[in-house]
Amino acid sequence: QVQLQESGPGLVKPSETLSLTCTVSGASLTGLYWSWIRQPPGKSLEWIGFIYYTGTTSYNPSLKGRVTMSVDTAKDQFSLSLTSVTAADTAVYYCARDLNWYFDVWGRGSLVTVSS
């Protein structure tokens, strides 16, 4: 059974960097795409970007160059970094397996609050 688990600080100060890691169990990262998606409280979902197991990335232009993703296949992990955060970045952050045509497995989500 494939499982994804997000981890990282639940509280980040404004202007600082949000960092999250997704650990994959029950499957290899090889050959697949892996995405980050977020959901502000009470709002809809927003795709942040994806990373291929080789390290190739694609990001949502709305995040204006603040996003960086990385992958560590040896540790079965991929990571998200979002710089210069504001209160608008407060959200539940999900990692998900992207089969290139749909998200078939999601993590449980990690609430990140941006506040001083």
- Tokens encoding 69: 């993703």
Q: Is 10 in the site for other proteins (CB under 8 A)?
A: no
Q: Is 8 in the site for other proteins (CB under 8 A)?
A: no
Given a contact cutoff of 8 angstroms between Cβ atoms, the answer to whether 82 and 63 are in contact is yes
Beta bridge partners of 91: 112
Binder among 47, 53, 68, 83 for other proteins (CB under 8 A)? 47
Q: Is 106 in the site for other proteins (CB under 8 A)?
A: yes
Choices 11-19, 24-32, 39-47, 79-87 (CB under 8 A): range interacting with other proteins: 39-47
- Tokens encoding 47: 């795709």
**Residue 29 vs 33, nearer CB to other proteins:** 33
Choices 18-26, 44-52, 66-74, 83-91 (CB under 8 A): range interacting with other proteins: 44-52
Q: Is 102 in the site for other proteins (CB under 8 A)?
A: yes
In the bound complex, what is the minimum distance in angstroms from residue 94's beta carbon to other proteins? 6
**Residue 15 vs 88, nearer CB to other proteins:** 88
| DSSP per-residue codes, 8-42 | S-SEE-TTS-EEEEEEEESS-STT-EEEEEEE-TT
